[in-house]
Structure formats: structure tokens, C-alpha cells
Structure 1
Amino acid sequence: MAQVLEFKLPDLGEGLTEAEIVRWLVQVGDVVAVDQPVVEVETAKAMVEVPCPYGGVVTARFGEEGTELPVGAPLLTVAVGEPAGDAGTDGPDGGRAEPAGTASPEPAGTAPTADSGTQGSGNVLVGYGTSQAPARRRRVRPQQPAPATPGPRTAADGRPAAGAVPGHAVAPTAVNGSAAAPGAEPGPREAAEAADGPVPVISPLVRRLARQNGLDLRELTGSGPDGLILRADVEYALRAAAAQGRTTAPATAAEPPAREARTPAATASPAPAPVSPGGVRIPLKGVRGAVADKLSRSRREIPDATCWVDADATELMRARTAMNAAGGPKISLIALLARICTAALARFPELNSTVDTEAREVVRFDHVHLGFAAQTDRGLVVPVVRDAHARDAESLTAEFARLTEAARAGTLTPADLTGGTFTLNNYGVFGVDGSTPIVNHPEAAMLGVGRIVPKPWVHEGELAVRQVVQLSLTFDHRVCDGGTAGGFLRYVADCVEQPAVLLRTL
């Protein structure tokens, strides 16, 4: 006898209490293996895949794509303890009727069985890979029951009711994305995608933004590589529609009726506001919402101050060129700046700290976990290089490259985005000379680096064209006074102008 197990949204850690469903990776009727990713969710920290600890047949899913669910809310139910090949329905004579379209038995080992995950692995940590490779998926198609054999009962929220036997015909309310009975005609959107294929977009969030505002992506021409539709393309189309005085239909008018088996939490989520002639409403949630909350808290709690200095970076650029000409892995400029930061923090540890407001204490760290600001299509994120003080230039370059690529792909884990003690902000990549950045709460300081450009400079008593950069330091005035902050910034500038100064700390 099969057993139905309910898999709930697991504890996400790092104080995260909710997540948004970005994309389902399984359908109702699919056979899943233990630790197979079943849904992609976005938290305030990252976009990650969630593995299911049970192996068996998916009998229901809860929540549409775009729905926010709290930790502990049901994600899906899985029927375990019954071989997947025996997941047909009872025939009129009491025997087992095979699902429609069932092929001849496959060789052993080609697909998982439902009883392979009865105990479950417990490996449901968000952001971590699965313990085994996902098996090839098989769809167990629900069989329409005979008139004399009623189908399983379902509760009001779409969950199997007491006494319902997994493996029997699934009620239409429990089937996500294919709620109609076998043989029913596909909806307009499904038919269009089947005919033309999915529209290439840069991320599921862009697709959801268009869906919420009733925008047909097939009418857009993407500005990305190979016609890839970017978020800017969607926002431009929405602004153009608003400027012409046209109001777009709500998301519910652009899609067929909801097909999800919903929980009360999912149905209670407010619908996104439609576009009005006055502009576009974009919810502050996910990464953007987390950034807004953190910056607001930083402004409320941290009495910050900023000092800055211009520095001649000509010798630093020459040193980097010489390093890369010597062979081996290329050294990035941000890696050299990070190495300078760690050396400066060793001299001025007051800036590598945080303030415990409840205890009224300043906590100084004996390690440097260096964060760096990275702009992505999903918003601003700050990945963290662990133990940056113990890394050389090559190791720093490799770690910056790894975290930057993960940030662009949206695969950073919560561990990659938390625990920083000091932040390096290279806003020069945006073509600006200077800035007064907001301290990344709960840290105590941030070093900003502007663009490096040729400028007139007095060098060795003569006017010359040199590569000049502006450095700025925003710091929490509770952890130190201006003298300490100025000393830190001056040491950084000295190392930029004369990299040989770093030899004292190597």
C-alpha cells in the first residue's frame, strides 16, 4: 500500500522565512528520485533549487509560479512505497489497469521506483546540490476511472483527502499545468508554445514580469544576444504602453484559469497591481526587497561618515601588467585591491568589526571575509570571499571570478552572501569617478574605488599624465574616529601608488 508524504518548504537558514516559486521542475504524475530537485525558488539571498527527500510519484503541487510561500508551507505530495510501474488505476474487476500509453517494461535500472525513497534522505538544504544525480523522469498519466469506480477525494486546498489512494486517477484540481481530463484541448498559451517553442528570456523573473502585466513576449524584439529578451526590454514596452494611454490587462486575463493545487497561503497572496498610466509598479521583494531593507536599516542605525583621496595608480597598473606577462593565471585588478584592503585592515582592525547594539560593544574580527558589490539582472548582491586575508593574488582572482559568475547565473547560495566583515565596492566599472556608498549592515566600513583614468598629475616635481583613481571610505563613526579612517585610507592610497609597500606585509 502506497503512502502519501507531504514535502514542505524547508528551513532556509540565515533568518529567511519565505521564498517565491520561480519554476517547477516536476509535473504531477512524474516519478522523482530521492534528493531530486523539484522546484526552483528565489529567496532574499539567492535563486536555488530545492531537492525532495522522498522518492515516488508526485500526486499534487501547491502554489503557482510567482507565489510566495512561508517556511513550512506544503510544496508537494509524493506517493511512496509502491513501484512506479504499478501506479495504474483499479479496473472494474478490481485488478490493476495500466496507465494509458504505458510501454513495454523497461530494463532494470532505467527509472527509479517509488519505494526507493520511502525513508527519505533529509537532504533539503537550500543552495546545496543533491546527493545523487537526478534520474530520468517518467510521467505516470492519470487514468480516467470507470463510472463504477469513483476517483480519489480531494480537500478544499487540493491535497488528497483522507482515504484517497495514491496511484489512482488524480482529480483535475490536483493537477498543475494539465488539469483537464485526458484528451482535453490545450489552452491558448500551451498551444502557442507548442507551435513556436518558448520565447527566449534572460530569466524566469522577466517572463513573470511580462505575465503579470499581460504583455505578450512574442511581440517583443530582444536586445540581448541572439534576440534574448532582457528585463529592460519588458520595462521599455510597459512604459511605451503607458505613455500611449493603453492599460494592459491583469495577469489573470492573459492566462487560462489557475491550475495549481493551492494552499490557503498561496490563495491569500495579493494579485500584482496592473500598470496604470502613471507608471509601472514593481514589488519590492526578493533580492530587490532585501537590498531595500538592508540599506534602510543601515541609514537608520549607522552614523556613517565618508572621506576620500585621489591616488596615482600608474605603478599599480604597471605591476599588474608585469605579473601577467610573467605567465601563469592572469591577476585581476580587484584581486590586487583586495590584497591591499586586507593589509590595511591588519594595520587598522577597528574597521574590520561590527557593533553589537544590545550589548553596547564593538566586536572586532580576527578574520577578513571580504564582500564585493556585484550588479546582476536580479539586483545588487554582495558575494563574500571567505578568509581573504589568507589568500594570495591568484587565489583571490579565482574566487572573485567564481562568485561573479555564480552571481550572474543566480546560483549563489546563502552561505556565499552572508558573513562579510568588510566590503570592497568597485563602482568604477560603471564609469564614475566617486561615490559615497552606504555601509553594508552590519559591517562597519566600505572602500569605494572609482574608475582609473589618465589625468594631469604632478609626478616627481613635474606635470605629467598619470593613471589616477579616486578612493573613498565610508565608515561607522561609532567604531573609530576620523584619524583611524584617514590612516586606513592613506595606507591604501600609498599601496596603490607604490605597490612595493605591500612587501612589508607579505
Structure 2
Amino acid sequence: MTQLVDIRVPQDDQQGTHHVLANWLKTPGEPVTANMPLVDLETDKVMVEVAAPASGILKEVLKKPGEDVEPGTLLGRIEIGLAELPSAPVITYSNIHVEPTPTNDRREGADKMLLSPAVRRLVKTHHLDLSAIHGSGRRGRVTKQDIHAYLKQRKVPVAEDLPVLSSTETAPQTPTTGPPSTRIPHDAMRRRIAAHMTESLLHTAPHVTTVFEADLSAIVRHRNQYKASFKQQGTKLTFSAYFVAAAVKALEWVPRVNSRFHEDSLELFADMNIGIGTALDDRGLIVPVLQRAQTRNLLGIAAELQRLTEAARSGTLEPADLQGGTFTLSNHGVSGSLVATPIIINQPQTAILGIGKLEKRVIVREIDGNDSILIRPMAYVTLTIDHRALDAYQANRFMTRFVEVIENWNAE
């Protein structure tokens, strides 16, 4: 007597999260074990594994890689109740071959699904042996960053990350009347970013940005004094840690900025869960959340920032790392930008803080009643607000307090 068990997309606490089926880790007819990873779902934020709900045989696959799926969607079915089930094979990276072989096409195809499309393209482009590459991803999977690091170590230039086309495929091109070009299809993350940003800026929140200037001399001195001791404790002391700490002080001063707009009310949050905009090279932007920042000192903030950014870039963030944000900080200056405006609000929050490039500039200060010309490390800082929830009064009070904390930094 046999029975079919449904494999479904789990219900997701992240409102509005969009899912795309990325990979099946087994093919129909293969044995599976309860709780083993069975399906990879790609969201606009992280890669999520769906575990097998029971032990048995993967009977049928109802959704294919690349298809959009929603929480509760039926993905496939497992047949259980067989008298005997063969043991599930152990799959390691040493037995993955990117090029198919005539005698092992089916097994090789299943193994390839352990790798993301970007990784498979790089492996094929550079003819790599995956057994020689250490995987830093979940359960030891090789990530795009692992391959970049491996190629850098070998001093091999990384080929442009474009789709690898078979001999029967051609890249989509623009009409022949224009210059030659190649189109790169949008992945789930890029499509979701586009939709989220358009919705925030054009359909939801009227954006207004206030611009201040901050003298970073105090935090530069403090960082130079303490970064060695932080390093001894395994933590990198970044300027972003100071910006998060100063944002906490400013949010305490103006609690309305740490809020969510509703049609009938403004919801103020007790916890300051600060999202940190993190660039993933050409793959887009992700916003891991530093939970309850108001409970952490500078060391605690710096350590958690390090964990979140490393996990974001290695693809090992957990869904919980992206939930519950109440305010966002974008340190766009790390890539050379002086000012970015407006920085689009991460809905459903009501404000986003932007930090421009640290740059030595000539400024005028009054010292003992006389104007003096000084050279100081300066940065433009901005606050973009949802004008439905906040006005210039609250925005400027927040920024005044933020700059005050930065310029008069005192170790805490």
C-alpha cells in the first residue's frame, strides 16, 4: 500500500516575499529521506531550502526551475509506504562533473542542481575542478564568491558573468539596425528589486530628502585608537558601526522616524532593527537586519555587522536575518558616491539614512572668535523620508542629533 505526500512551498512570515523555484536536488524516481534538502527556492533576499516532508521516492515534479511559486504552492509529491527503499546516495562535490557524459547523464544532471546557475556558468567558462575549491555556502556548497576567490588566488582573470550558450542557442539581440548587443535575463532578485523600488517611489511614498554635512574627525580618531583591540577580539571596526550607533541615538531622540505608516495611524516601534544595505556585486542589493541595535554597544554592533555582511556576500543568510527591519542605513559612500538622492525607502519603513564618501575637504570654523581654515574628513549625510508619515521638522531634528553624536563621539 502506498501513499502520496505533498511537497509545498512553506508559509513565509516575510510579507510580500517573491519565490522562484531555483533547483530540484533530486529527480523523479530517486529515493529521498525525511528532512533532507529537496528543493532550492530563490527569493529576492535569500536562497531557501525546502526539506522533504517524508521518506520515500520522489514520485513527480509539478514545478520546473525558473517558475514563480507562492507560499503553499504544490511543488511535487513523494510516494511512501514501499516495502523497501534503497539508501539515498551521498553526493559530494568531488563527483560533480559539469560536462555531461553519455553513461551518466541522469546522475550528473541531478548533481549539477547542487550549484547555482551563476556557479555553473563560471565552472564551465573556466573549466574548473570543483573538488579543488572549498565551499563556504550552506552545507559546503561552492558559491560564486568561492570561485572568484579561487581564480584570484590563481591570478586568473574572471570572465564576464554572462550566460553560457550551447551550440544550438543564440543570445537575444536588439534589432540589427542598432549596435550589436546581448541581453542578460533578469533573475528573481533583480525583478523583485525593480518592483519594490518602483512601488516605493512611484506608488506608495512621496519621498523628501534632507542633506547635512558631518565632520568625521572624532570617529576617525576613535577608530584609529581602538581598531587593533577590536581585531584582537575577532571583530573589524568599520565606520558603519559608528553610523549605526549614532542612528540609534538619533532614533531615541526622534522616535517617530522608527515607524510604519498606516492609513489610520503611525505605528512606532520599541526596537530599533536597523537594516544595512549590502551590495552583492552585479547581483543586486540585499538588506540584512541588525536586530535590537539599541541593546548593543559599539563592539556588539561591529561584530553583528561583520557576521551579517559576510553571510550576505557568501549567500548564507538565514530568513530571520532579513526580517523585522524598522529603519535602514545605506553607506553608499564605500563605493565612491558623495551624495545619493533620493535613496528609495525600504517599504514599509518611513525613512532611510544615506552616508556619502569620507573625503578630506577645506572648511571654515570659528576658533576664539576668528575664522580659521581647516582640513577635515567630511561626509554628506542624508535622510529620505516618507512625507505621509514625517515632515521636515522631524527629519532635521533626527539629522541634527545624528551629526552631533558623530562629531562629538565619546566611547561607550
TM-score normalised by the chain length of structure 1: 0.64
- Identify which of 262, 277, 300 aligns with 1:373: 277
Q: Determine the structure 1 residue equivalent to 2:9.
A: 9
Change (3 A) 1:72 1:280: farther
Q: 2:69 matched to 1:69?
A: yes
Matching residue's letter, 1:305: V
- Residue 469, structure 1, aligned to residue 371, structure 2: no
| C-alpha displacement of 1:224 | 3.5
C-alpha change, 1:305 and 1:137, in structure 2 (3 Å) is: closer
1:137–1:454 distance in 2 versus 1, CA, 3 Å: closer
Give the letter aligned to residue 292 of structure 2. Answer: D
Identity %: 29
Pick from 319, 326, 329: which aligns with 2:222? 319
Summarize deviations over 1:218-238 as a string: whole Å, max 9, x none. 699x99444489997134x89
Partner in structure 2 of residue 410 of structure 1:
315
Partner amino acid, structure 2, of 1:233: E
Bigger drift between 283-292 and 380-389 goes to 283-292
Deviation at 1:190, TM superposition (A): 9.0
Q: Counterpart amino acid of 2:363? A: W
- 1:295 partnered with 2:197: yes
CA radius of gyration, larger in: 1
- Counterpart residue number, 1:304: 207
Query: How much has 1:428 moved relative to structure 2?
Result: 0.9
What residue in structure 2 maps to residue 53 of structure 1? 53
User: What is the DSSP-based 3-state SS (H/G/I as helix, E as strand, rest coil) of the residue aligned with 1:76?
Assistant: strand
Q: Which residue among 238, 253, 263 is the counterpart of 1:332?
A: 238
TM-aligned CA deviation for residue 285 of structure 1: 5.3
Output aligned runs, 1:25-424, within 5 Å.
25-85=25-85, 111=87, 136=90, 204-206=116-118, 217=125, 224-227=148-151, 233-235=160-162, 253-254=168-169, 274-277=172-175, 279-284=181-186, 286-299=188-201, 300-326=203-229, 328-329=232-233, 330=235, 331-357=237-263, 359=264, 361-377=265-281, 378-424=283-329
Shift of 1:207: 5.8
Q: CA deviation at 1:72?
A: 3.8
The answer as to whether partners of 1:31 and 1:137 remain within 8 angstroms in 2 is no
**Matches of 2:102 and 2:346 in 1, distance apart?**
54
Map Cα deviations across residues 38-92 of structure 1 (whole Å, 9 max, x no partner).
111102332111111101222333343333334444333323223545x6xxxxx
2:242–2:406: 8 Å Cα contact kept in structure 1?
Answer: no
Q: Distance in 1 between matches of 2:190 and 2:157?
A: 17
Q: Encode CA deviations 1:5-31: one digit per residue, 9 max, x unaligned.
A: 232333234245753222222233433
2:346 aligned with 1:447, yes or no?
no
- Deviation (angstroms), 1:427: 0.4
Partner of 1:241: none
Indicate how the Cα distance of structure 1 residues 326 and 18 shifts in structure 2: closer, same or farther if over 3 A, else same: closer
Going from structure 1 to structure 2, the CA distance change for 1:40 and 1:477 (only over 3 Å counts) comes to same
Q: 1:7 to 1:495 in 2, by over 3 A?
A: same
2: CA distance, partners of 1:27 / 1:323: 54
1:339 alignment partner, SS class: helix
Q: Is the 8 A contact 1:311 1:497 kept in 2?
A: yes
Q: Which amino acid in structure 2 is aligned with residue 414 of structure 1?
A: P
How many angstroms apart in 2 are the aligned matches of 1:137 and 1:325?
43
Q: Residue 350 of structure 2 aligns to which amino acid in structure 1?
A: A
Partner of 1:177: none
1:493 equivalent among 363, 382, 403: 403
Inter-partner Cα distance in structure 1 for 2:74 and 2:271: 40
Q: State the shift of 1:351 in Å.
A: 1.1
Alpha-carbon spacing, 1:7–1:355, altered in 2? closer, same or farther (3 Å): same
Shift in CA distance, 232/16, structure 1 to aligned 2, threshold 3 Å: farther
Secondary structure of 1:479's counterpart equals coil
- Seen in structure 2, the aligned counterparts of structure 1 residues 184 and 424 have a Cα distance that, compared at 3 Å, is closer
**Secondary structure in 1 aligned to 2:395?**
helix
The aligned amino acid for 1:497 is: E
CA–CA distance in structure 2, aligned partners of residues 489 and 383 of structure 1: 23
- State the SS of the aligned residue for 1:233: coil
Mapped contact 2:344–2:384 kept (Cα < 8 A): yes
Counterparts in 2 of 1:305 and 1:49: CA distance versus 1, 3 Å: same
Letter in 2 for 1:14: Q
Number of positions where the alignment pairs a residue of Structure 1 with one of Structure 2: 369
Relative to 1, partners in 2 of residues 1:274 and 1:69: Cα closer, same or farther, differing over 3 Å? Answer: farther
Q: Displacement of 1:425 after TM fit?
A: 0.7
Contact 2:290-2:304 within 8 A present in 1 as well: yes
Compared CA separation, residues 18 and 448, structure 1 to 2 (3 A): closer
Q: Could you say what the CA RMSD is over the residues aligned between the two structures, in angstroms?
A: 3.8
Distance 1:70 1:488, change over 3 A: closer
CA separation of 1:480 and 1:9: change in aligned 2, threshold 3 A: closer
- Give the partner amino acid of 1:370: I
1:488/1:19 Cα in 2 relative to 1: closer, same or farther (>3 Å)?
closer
Letter in 2 for 1:303: P
Contact 1:456 1:464 in 2 (8 A): yes
- The equivalent of 1:127 in structure 2 is none
Shift of 1:387: 0.8
With structure 2 as the length reference, what TM-score do the two structures score?
Answer: 0.77
Deviation digits for residues 170-227 of structure 1 (CA, Å, limit 9, x no counterpart): xxxxxxxxxxxxx97566x999x9xxx98xx9x724268x69xxxx74699x994444
Question: Structure 2: which 5+ runs fail to align?
Answer: 93-100, 129-143
